[in-house]
Structure 1
Amino acid sequence: MELVEATADDLDALVDRWYDLATKMEEYSELNELAYADVREVPDDGFRAHLENEDVTDYLIVHDGETIGFVTLREGRHPSRQYSTYLRIVNVAIDEGDRNRGHGTAVLERVKELARERGCDHLKVSCEWGNEDARRFYRDADFQPKQVDYAQPLE
């Protein structure tokens, strides 16, 4: 498994995989409801902006020459904290047919290597509270619960 930094040529693949991930997240909260009824409606602006942002990087997850998912990473800092430089896993998605084969664990290991290479001292990730599979995956990978996000729609 390898992570290949995405380019402008990969925008369609990123949008397609993001849309699959985002539609699955709808079941966990009304706040996750998408504004797009079809992947063809989704603009590539967000991923295009990532290409220009030095703190955010999108990678294609490639196994045996085939793209099987993607991961979005964002660097950040908390200068007032002992652990001050982090790499956040913003999105991670493995294609449905390639799950439960160790690819997610391999991605985490590679992300740890990237974080160390970039001088980061910790990783961050969040997931939907009701997504027990994701919560179990991160617990099994030795992530520690740190805080809870709350959200409230304003109507």
Structure 2
Amino acid sequence: MELVEATRDDVATLAEYWYDLASAMEQYDELNEVAYDGPEPAEAGIEGLLADEDTTVYLLTVDDGEGGYLVVRSGEHPSRVHSEYVEIVDLYVAPEYRDSGHGSDALDAVQRIARERGADYVEVSCEWGNDGARRFYRDNGFEPKQVTYARRVD
């Protein structure tokens, strides 16, 4: 598995991967319901990510093919001793490439990216009910730090 920085030429592929990931998250909470039927409307959002100077979008390549995507964002909590961080915004490995170590390889790559950027830590979040994702991150050395709560506005 290798990370290749995405370009505007990759927008359609990235939107498809995003749509697959977003659709899979619908089962965990009604707030995850995707607003449209297909990846095309997401292309503008992907283009925005590519233009954001604090965000980097990567394609995961496996055996000269595309096997998923990764979005990382650099951030800072200036009031903290350990202030610099890299956040994993999205990590998606296509189903045919799962359970082969590619997701763990992507996390190792994020660790290297964070080190190169001078970050103090890497953070990621996932749906509370997604036991598989929670186990995956724990198995890869991540520890629970905080819980995010959401409340629908009626």
Pairwise TM-score range, normalised by the shorter structure: over 0.9
Report what 2:21 is aligned to.
Answer: 21
Aligned-partner Cα distance in 2 for 1:144–1:82: 19
Give 1:63 deviation, angstroms: 1.3
* Deviant stretches of 4+, over 3 Å: none
Shift of 1:52: 1.5
* Structure 1 position 10 matched with structure 2 position 17: no
For structure 2, the 5+ residue unaligned runs are none
Residue identity opposite 2:27 in structure 1: E
Q: Deviation digits for residues 73-119 of structure 1, max 9, x if unmatched?
A: 00000011121000000000000111000000100001100110111
Distance in 2, matches of 1:43 and 1:137, equals 27
Which amino acid is the alignment partner of residue 35 of structure 1? A
Within 5 Å, give how 1:83-94 maps onto structure 2.
83-94=82-93
* 1:95-114 aligned within 5 A: 95-114=94-113
Cα contact 2:67–2:93 (8 A) shared by 1: yes
What is the DSSP-based 3-state SS (H/G/I as helix, E as strand, rest coil) of the residue aligned with 1:44?
helix
Alignment coverage as a number of residue pairs: 154
1:67 is paired with a residue whose SS is: strand
- After superposition, the C-alpha distances for 1:52-73 in whole angstroms (9 at most, x for unaligned) are 1110011000011111000000
- Indicate the residue corresponding to 2:76 in structure 1: 77
Q: Tell me what 1:57 maps to.
A: 56
| Corresponding residue of 2:141 | 142
1:154 aligns with 2:127: no
Aligned match of 1:119: 118
TM-score, normalised with respect to structure 2: 0.97
Q: Secondary structure at the match of 1:51?
A: helix
Give the superposition deviation at 1:43.
3.6
Q: Give the whole-Å Cα distance in 2 for the aligned partners of 1:147 and 1:121.
A: 17
Give a deviation string over 1:30-54, Cα, whole Å, max 9, x none. 00001012234x2411111112111
Give ranges in structure 1 of 5+ residues lacking alignment: none
What's the Cα RMSD here? 0.8
Give percent identity, aligned residues only: 49
